[in-house]
Structure 1
Amino acid sequence: MRIWIVLLVSMSALISPFGATTFLPAMNVLREVLDISASQVNVAVTTYMIAQAFAPAFMGALSDSSGRRLAFIICFIIFFVANIGLALQTNYIALLLLRILQAMGGTAGIALSYAVVADVSTSAERGVYMGYAGAGILAGPAFGPTIGGILAQYLGWRSTFWFLVIYAGVLLVLFVFFFPETCRNIVGNGSIPPSGLNRSVISCIQARKNRLQRPSDVERIKPPKRKFTLPNPLVTFRICLEKESGIILLYNGLFFTAMMTTVYGIPYIYGKTYNLSELHLGLCFIANGVGSMASSLTMGHIVDWNFRRHAKLAGMPIIKGQQQDLTNFNIERVRLEIVLPSHVIGTIGLLIFGWTVHYGTHIAFPEIGLVVIGFGISGAYNITNNLLIDLHRDVPAATTAAVNFARCLLSAGGAAAIIPMVNAMGVGWTFTFMAAVSLLLFGVAVWIMKFGMAWRLEKAERGSREMEEKERGKGP
């Protein structure tokens, strides 16, 4: 069952990057059709990223309070409707407004997917499952443009949005019929039966069969009544303002921005140097996806191995299916020991890509750079996401919404800046600047590894003192 759940959320994770990137190869065609500039088309990318920075704060809080199923279904419906509108729109304002709506629906691929993985796995085994779920999010920016390039070349730019309509419809059916509720606030460790919209169609059919076959047994197992609580999106922003989490989010968001800025800059950068068709341009994104998927599917095993190694050294038992007490366990060091080599690899990839394009080498060389970028940066991104969930296991959706808030705002800035930077500095020096920023971020990662546990214990002690003061204030 757990593999099936992770497979479904990995599929759902694709809708966010697909929504952002499938139309990238058609940007030049779209510019001509709508009679707008390259910078205006780029605003459609930036608008999507900004909208997607804020939407998960609400959807993540909704899923933590009312269940993952409800939030997924709402997101898929919004995404489905938005893409119908985008396929039919004929002017620039409609494009921007519908991109905002599309981004709101794409929340399902971000805040909710990682939250489901946190529901069904423990800290000791989460690396592998986070890698599987992350494969969708990280492969999307590569394979989305590839699919978009093929569709735009042979069926026109509108077909890229009709493809997303079909994909959202398939996901909606799969989740309505087959996806079980996983939120621990709703079903606990799986022992509490869900009710209402938290039940899949298949589980309802199965329950009906059980009632007919064993009515006396079913009567004894009734779902408890739950009080409805309004989602609180402020939880996401409180996580952003915490000392340790805020620093990790800054590191995570800025380093991931380097990869997304590269991806969003490919149509313009390759267009100037290699003069590719929409189809061939779309195929060029595969390299980054290969690197990202390779990282997601392999680094998770290394992350879990390192956790087991440190747990053994600390004398902490690992019991399958049981969460570990991380209070006095240096989880920051455990995770970031694997991040640091990934960080170095990603930084080298930025330099390879920038200077091979700068000197107009054969396109195979910058493509190698994209593979290296994908492997290194994706690895660091997935592992720091894992660390943040370790620090906030009670609100995993709000935590991944915080990750998304930082990532999307910073990536929006990167997407808006890449063309002016390349025009002003040249491709080589633009990516050298990005590598220099990456070098500074390496120092931030070391800083977190050294002081993160102390910050966490300090926060826990402060929380305990505040709780004691509140209890004393209530009196006898």
Structure 2
Amino acid sequence: MDNTNIRSSISTNNDESNTNDNELTSRKDDKKLADQLSVNSEISKETIEDPNDPKCWPRKKKNFILFITSLAGMVAPLSSTIFYPSIIIIENDFKTSGVLANGIIGVYILFMGVAPLGWAAYSDAFYTRRNVYLASFTIYIIGTVICGLSNSIWLLLAMRLVQACGASAVLSIGAGTISDVFHSLERGRAYGIFYLGPLVGPVIGPVIGGYVTDYLGWRWILWILAVIGGLILILIFFTFPETYLPPTNLPNPNNTTSNSQRRKRFDPTSPLRLLKYPNMSLVIVYISITFAVIYLQNTLVGPSFANIYHVSASTVGLIFLAPGTGYMIGSVIGGKWSDYVLIEAKKRNNGVGYPEMRLHSVWIGCFFISVSYICYGWFLEARLHIALPIIAMFTGGFSLVTVYNSVSTYLVDAFPGRSASAIAINNLTRSLAAALFTFVSVPFEKAVGIGSIYTIMICISFIGVFCLFVVSYKGKYWREKINSGIDE
């Protein structure tokens, strides 16, 4: 293959390149990474240093984009968990039922999973990330302000829906931004940093919500969220560049015989078509089960610790710092571990890598997830010292995020050109699982007991682990079979 053809293939493959692509970078600070990529590259220095390619931007610029993306990603989960301490007060203020009051959380979680389908389809169809961020945060601010002014529970629920639609865009588009800017072997670390934002939100949300509700009133939660959204919108407007490099060989609309890449059409349901591929559907099974366990735990933490250890509501909020700290540390360490496993696997395979190699980094995490959550449940059941279940929450959160980082990065690498759609499907299925188990957790726990409920869920999760095992060994065959037609 001559250099002209290589330049053409790179310019049309902007969104993501496969992990087994011969990606190189000539920057001095990336030399170590470049040496670990395939030695068969014929890409010229001039091609690699294309200033229009976001992957070739200066390191500081790429890290700044990563920081803004992570910061924006914090808003959606923060806006969800920040209301946990104020549900009862809102119920009393509006003189409504507990079901409708809990709907403030349930509706938000549901649409936090559904809305990214539309954002992802729009981004992939119109080759833009920046415009999606600007539109989504504008919608988020409008919904948040009207929530704060609501004088009925129905208006509050409706605006929570709008708020979720606006805040959730970054959860899928953020993955596309990272794949725009970072080479495949850098993405594990980049995703680890990116997910710090979405993981910090659930950690600080209940703590902030509790204190704001006690001292200022629950409506002040919404004014604070509106200010945060406004600041991020201003930051994106003035400092965030477009990272989606459009293909250069879009067909001439007057040329009906062109074999060039076809322009994509906007179809909000298009991400759902990815579920027909086993690489996607089997991985999603595991992610959905693990998120069901997380939200089962989140819903039961308050009543469990209050009933067993007789702690106050503010103390319960502080207990959430245990898994949250595990999430944050696991996100950083897990990203580096994921990249390390991929690099070592490529070395053992004569410098040739493929996305499924990354999945071999999850097995240790899967083991400790099982141990941590089973121990957590039976520590509570046995009413052991409060420190033991809190430690189990930390180790469970740490292990879970190390696995989630790897499988999310795999979805991006396995579906080139469709990263935003792949992560949107991920968000949809996990949000559906989270919303379901948020509602059934209390009767489920009453039926089987606090120890048994986590044992049952972990036994179910073994199905997901088996699915990951199958993808790690069969995924390469499936991916090579479908990749040629995935963008059709």
Provide the TM-score with structure 1 as the length reference.
Answer: 0.82
Look up the equivalent residue of 1:437 and give its one-letter code.
I
Q: Is 2:79 the counterpart of 1:27?
A: no
Return the match for 1:140 from 177, 194, 201: 201
Q: Secondary structure at the match of 1:67?
A: coil
Return the match for 2:191 from 130, 133, 143: 130
1:39-74 Cα offsets, whole Å, 9 max, x none, are 443333221122122211111122222411110011
What residue in structure 2 maps to residue 159 of structure 1? 220
Would you say the 8 A contact 1:17–1:140 is kept in 2? yes
1:187–1:422 CA distance, 2 compared to 1 (3 A): farther
1:417-449 Cα offsets, whole Å, 9 max, x none, are 111112222221111211211233222221222
Would you say the 8 A contact 2:115–2:169 is kept in 1? no
What residue in structure 1 maps to residue 63 of structure 2? 3
Q: Is 2:318 the counterpart of 1:283?
A: yes
* Deviation for aligned residue 1:108: 2.9
Q: Tell me the distance in 2 between the aligned counterparts of 1:2 and 1:372.
A: 31
Q: Tell me the distance in 1 between the aligned counterparts of 2:204 and 2:360.
A: 30
What is the root-mean-square deviation of aligned Cα atoms in Å?
Answer: 2.3
What residue in structure 2 maps to residue 379 of structure 1? 402
Would you say the 8 A contact 1:149–1:279 is kept in 2? yes
Q: Tell me the distance in 2 between the aligned counterparts of 1:306 and 1:409.
A: 31
* Deviation for aligned residue 1:330: 4.2
* Deviation for aligned residue 1:310: 1.7
1:379–1:41 CA distance, 2 compared to 1 (3 A): farther
Q: Is 2:101 the counterpart of 1:41?
A: yes
Q: Tell me the distance in 2 between the aligned counterparts of 1:242 and 1:81.
A: 37
Q: Which has the higher helix share?
A: 1
Provide the TM-score with structure 2 as the length reference.
Answer: 0.80
Would you say the 8 A contact 1:25–1:281 is kept in 2? no
* Deviation for aligned residue 1:460: 4.2
* Deviation for aligned residue 1:290: 0.3
What residue in structure 2 maps to residue 101 of structure 1? 162
Would you say the 8 A contact 2:140–2:162 is kept in 1? yes
What residue in structure 1 maps to residue 429 of structure 2? 406
Q: Is 2:152 the counterpart of 1:91?
A: yes
Q: Tell me the distance in 2 between the aligned counterparts of 1:391 and 1:406.
A: 18
1:353–1:248 CA distance, 2 compared to 1 (3 A): same
Q: Tell me the distance in 2 between the aligned counterparts of 1:381 and 1:388.
A: 11
Q: Tell me the distance in 2 between the aligned counterparts of 1:303 and 1:449.
A: 14
Q: Is 2:334 the counterpart of 1:305?
A: no
Look up the equivalent residue of 1:105 and give its one-letter code.
G
* Deviation for aligned residue 1:170: 0.8
Runs of 5+ in structure 2 lacking a partner? Answer: 1-60, 250-261
Q: Secondary structure at the match of 1:435?
A: helix
Q: Tell me the distance in 1 between the aligned counterparts of 2:482 and 2:146.
A: 47
Q: Tell me the distance in 2 between the aligned counterparts of 1:88 and 1:364.
A: 42
Quick one: percent identity of the two aligned structures? 26
* Deviation for aligned residue 1:228: 9.0
1:58–1:276 CA distance, 2 compared to 1 (3 A): same
What residue in structure 2 maps to residue 331 of structure 1? 355
What residue in structure 2 maps to residue 177 of structure 1? 238
What residue in structure 2 maps to residue 315 of structure 1? 350
Look up the equivalent residue of 1:331 and give its one-letter code.
P
1:299-342 Cα offsets, whole Å, 9 max, x none, are 1111111111122222237xxxxxxxxxxx4421x222111111
Look up the equivalent residue of 1:292 and give its one-letter code.
Y
Return the match for 2:384 from 355, 358, 361: 361
| Count of aligned pairs | 415
Q: Tell me the distance in 2 between the aligned counterparts of 1:99 and 1:229.
A: 31
